[in-house]
Amino acid sequence: MQFLPAIHPPALATPQAWCFAFVGNQLLLPEGDELGLQPLVPTLLAAEASTRHYLGTLAGQDCWALLLPAAPAGWVSAPLRMAMMRFDPALAALAGRAAQILEWDRSHRFCGVCGTPTTLQPGERARICPACQHAAYPRLSPAMMALVWRPGELLLARSPHYAKGMYSALAGFVEAGESLEDCVHREVAEEVGLQVQDLRYFGSQSWPFPNSLMVAYTARWTAGQIVPQAGEIEDAQWFAIDALPGIPPRFSIAGHLIRDTLALMQAGGHL
């Protein structure tokens, strides 16, 4: 399904629309449809929305992000992460987009410079301060992810907040003045005390918890012994490629990164 982003709805609304409605940070789904999201007539929810933003069209149907004060009769709320894991990839991406736009709108109702209430800017996705003209656009926080490898092994780590038995690639936010590659080298050194080379870009994923852009790399180990960063890394180990622990599902880019790299190494491919 092709998504075409837009800010303003067309003069003629489509007969049905994809409505991504939230109460707080919980996504609303029709009762009996907890495993998917069906096209909805916009008036079912839009009339009760305290905030709404047009997103564009998916497969020719209008798409809306809606914020409601409470779940209407016939609707149930679900954690966004759980819902996204069950959606078609196109719907999951749109649900994440909707959540990020609603969070941006909520957190920029007042100017961060002078405190004046802001207004929506016609023609672009922005909130403008009428007093000092400061513009607030939806922001993304770039974060790198690095899967460190050496022949026959992958380095995986777990943070204290991970599910029991779950390990993943290293990750961390980019600091001011850093390139993504600088961030990879710094985070790997900080989190596990290793040095790496031969960084290879794998892919990226918008991560709406609340507004990250995950950029994933593989990196070849060159030196160092594992020293987990206190308070950040609960455990980190080299795992043989035929004996990995629990890893994230393919819903996340970490799941894709680890599985695709594993398949390439098992096939004898070059990283």
pLDDT the model gives residue 39: 43
User: Does 258 lie in the same domain as 225?
Assistant: yes
pLDDT the model gives residue 147: 98
User: Does 216 lie in the same domain as 127?
Assistant: no
pLDDT, tens digit (0-9, with 9 covering 90-100), for 142-172 = 999 999 999 999 999 999 999 899 999 999 9
C-alpha dist (Å) from residue 257 to 106, 232, 254: 33, 21, 5
pLDDT the model gives residue 166: 96
Question: Does residue 16 belong to any structural domain of this protein?
Answer: yes
Range of the domain at 54: 3-106
User: Does 68 lie in the same domain as 155?
Assistant: no
User: Does 255 lie in the same domain as 148?
Assistant: yes
pLDDT the model gives residue 49: 83
User: Does 172 lie in the same domain as 113?
Assistant: no
- Write down which residue in 94, 121, 139 finishes a domain: 139
Each residue's pLDDT expressed in tens, for the chain with a length of 271 residues? 799 999 999 999 888 888 898 999 999 888 776 555 554 444 456 667 889 999 999 989 899 999 999 888 888 888 999 888 888 888 889 999 999 999 999 999 999 999 999 999 988 999 999 999 999 999 999 999 999 999 999 999 999 999 899 999 999 999 999 999 999 999 999 999 999 999 999 999 999 998 999 999 999 999 999 999 999 999 999 999 999 999 999 889 999 999 999 999 999 888 8
d(CA 138, CA 163): 30
Residue 169, domain CATH? 3.90.79.10
User: Does 213 lie in the same domain as 177?
Assistant: yes
Question: Does residue 253 belong to any structural domain of this protein?
Answer: yes
Does the predicted TM-score (pTM) go above 0.85? yes
User: Does 173 lie in the same domain as 129?
Assistant: no
Domain count, the chain: 3
User: Does 248 lie in the same domain as 135?
Assistant: no
User: Does 122 lie in the same domain as 57?
Assistant: no
Residue 13, domain CATH? 3.90.79.20
User: Does 18 lie in the same domain as 102?
Assistant: yes
User: Does 169 lie in the same domain as 127?
Assistant: no
pLDDT the model gives residue 37: 52
- Write down which residue in 61, 89, 106 finishes a domain: 106
Question: Does residue 271 belong to any structural domain of this protein?
Answer: no
State the DSSP string of the chain.
--EEE-SS--SS--SSEEEEEEETTEEEEETT-TT----B-THHHHTT-SEEEEEEEETTEEEEEEE-SSPPTTEEEEEHHHHHHHS-HHHHHHHHHHHHHHHHHHHTSB-TTT-PBPEEPTTSS-EE-TTT--EEPPP-EEEEEEEEEETTEEEEEE-TTSPTTB-B-EEEEPPTT--HHHHHHHHHHHHH--EEEEEEEEEEEEETTTTEEEEEEEEEEEE----PPTTT-SEEEEEETTS--B---TTSHHHHHHHHHHHHHHTT---
Which two three-digit tokens encode residue 87? 């959606």
User: Does 180 lie in the same domain as 115?
Assistant: no
